[in-house]
């Protein structure tokens, strides 16, 4: 019998875990992400970086760091847009990926080599420490909902025995954490505090930005789910977890109130949460589209608008996904 959070960690990140090898995202995978929809998602991040440099909020020699870059498509898109919009910054910014999984580091290196040859240098490191810097912009997409989590139901904590969830009396430390976060029933994520602390320890000044699917306040119900070929299976609907273990994605709603507290407790001075659609508009997505229309023509613009609608539509990715930003 193992604690559910340990089971989830092994499911996702073990030697033979779901993320232990490259998985397709999009039509051929288990789920879609904003990155798989359009390169303009990376373009909006690039435009935000450029605006932060122009405003004096980010140094021109800052480290631009993606955490959990999967196939490296997002950072490649961002680099391409920076090169197009403000090419001088390509020579001063330092690009990096933090990727703990060796197989994915190889995939990322090959993709970036195919994209840029030797023209762009991107450091790919297994942890944050090798890329410590005075100034950094750190970003991610769908990272914080991929942390391991415990399951709480009143004073009970979930374990897994023979690939089935069983409930046992919770230990004092876990139940105290849950009560402090006002979680009576649902997921109690592990590792946010250590993650925020590591950003503070390794970057003298830092802006962290991520887009994730989640809730602003405790819902006090379970959201844990399995993704298999675009089918969503509630965790407790599975009679046995064995057919899905390490073969399908396991996730739950990112708890933004918990994430915000973790960053504030780590010493980040401001933390802001906004719907993805509003955030992307604020970051200049429409400006990018207008530039694209001028260069590529109206037909290409119309085609791209169709893709971008999925990022902004409240019924699709626009409102359930949130942008979280913390700075120090």
Is 291 a domain residue?
Answer: yes
Across 264-304, the runs of DSSP E, i.e. the strands, are: 270-275
Asked if the structure places residue 299 within a domain, the reply is yes
Q: What pLDDT sits at residue 23? A: 52
In a domain, 180, yes or no: no
Report the pLDDT value the prediction gives residue 220, as an integer from 0 to 100: 93
Q: Is 182 part of any domain?
A: no
Supply the pLDDT for residue 269.
Answer: 84
Among all chains, which residue has been given the structure tokens 């021109």?
Answer: 60
Q: What is the pTM (predicted TM-score) of this model?
A: 0.92
* Angle between helix 298-312 and 40-54 (nearest 10): 80
pLDDT digits (tens, 9 = 90+) for 234-266: 999 999 999 999 999 999 999 999 999 999 999
**Angstrom distance (rounded) from CA 47 to CA 43:** 6
| Helix 285-296, helix 40-54: angle, nearest 10 | 110
Tell me, yes or no, whether 101 lies in a domain: yes
CATH number for 102:
3.40.50.12710
CB 116 within 8 A of CB 8: no
Range of the domain at 312: 24-147+189-218+252-327
Q: Which residues, 6 or more positions from 86, have their beta carbon under 8 angstroms from its beta carbon? A: 50, 53
Which residues is 297 bridged to in the sheet?
A: none
Residue 168 lies in a domain: no
In the chain, the number of structural domains is 1
Residue 181 domain-assigned (yes or no):
no
For 77, residues 6+ apart whose C-beta sits below 8 A from its C-beta are: 35, 39, 41, 42, 43, 46
Structure tokens at 278: 């509003």
Torsion angle of the four alpha carbons 217, 146, 187, 196, in this order, in degrees rounded to the nearest 10: -60
Q: Looking at the domain assignment, is residue 4 inside a domain? A: no
Tens digit of pLDDT per residue, the chain (328 long)?
Answer: 999 999 999 999 998 899 876 555 544 444 456 777 788 899 999 999 999 999 999 999 999 999 989 899 999 999 999 999 999 999 999 999 999 998 899 999 999 999 999 999 999 999 999 999 999 999 999 999 999 999 999 999 999 999 999 999 999 999 999 999 999 999 999 999 999 999 999 999 999 999 999 999 999 999 999 988 878 999 999 999 999 999 999 999 999 999 999 999 999 987 789 998 999 999 999 898 888 788 878 788 788 888 888 778 886 765 789 999 999 9
């Amino acid at each position: 019998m193992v604690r559910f959070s340990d089971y989830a960690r092994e499911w996702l990140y073990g030697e033979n875990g779901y993320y232990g090898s490259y998985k397709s995202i999009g039509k051929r995978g288990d789920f879609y992400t904003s990155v798989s929809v359009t390169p303009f998602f990376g373009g909006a991040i690039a435009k935000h970086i450029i605006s932060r440099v122009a405003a004096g909020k980010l140094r021109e020699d800052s480290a631009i760091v993606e955490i959990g870059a999967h196939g490296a498509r997002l950072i490649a898109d961002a680099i391409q847009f920076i090169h197009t919009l403000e090419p001088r910054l390509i020579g001063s910014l330092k690009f990096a990926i933090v990727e703990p999984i060796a197989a994915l580091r190889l995939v990322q290196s090959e993709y970036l080599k195919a994209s840029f040859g030797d023209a762009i240098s991107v450091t790919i490191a297994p942890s944050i420490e090798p890329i410590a810097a005075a100034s950094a912009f750190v970003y991610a997409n769908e990272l914080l909902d991929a942390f391991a989590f415990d399951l709480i139901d009143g004073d009970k904590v979930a374990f897994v025995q023979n690939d089935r969830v069983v409930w046992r009396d919770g230990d004092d430390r876990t139940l105290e954490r849950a009560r402090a976060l006002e979680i009576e029933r649902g997921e109690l994520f592990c590792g946010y505090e250590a993650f925020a602390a590591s950003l503070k320890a390794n970057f003298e000044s830092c802006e962290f930005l991520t887009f994730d699917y989640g809730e602003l306040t405790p819902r006090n119900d379970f959201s844990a789910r399995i993704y298999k070929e675009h089918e969503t299976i509630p965790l407790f609907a599975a009679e046995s977890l064995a057919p899905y273990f390490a073969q399908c994605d396991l996730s739950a709603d990112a708890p933004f109130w918990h994430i915000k507290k973790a960053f504030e407790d780590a010493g980040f001075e401001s933390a802001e949460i906004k719907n993805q659609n509003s955030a992307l508009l604020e970051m200049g997505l429409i400006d990018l589209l207008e530039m694209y229309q001028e260069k590529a023509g109206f037909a290409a613009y119309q085609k791209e608008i169709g893709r971008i609608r999925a990022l902004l539509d409240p019924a699709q990715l626009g409102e359930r996904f949130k942008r979280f930003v913390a700075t120090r």
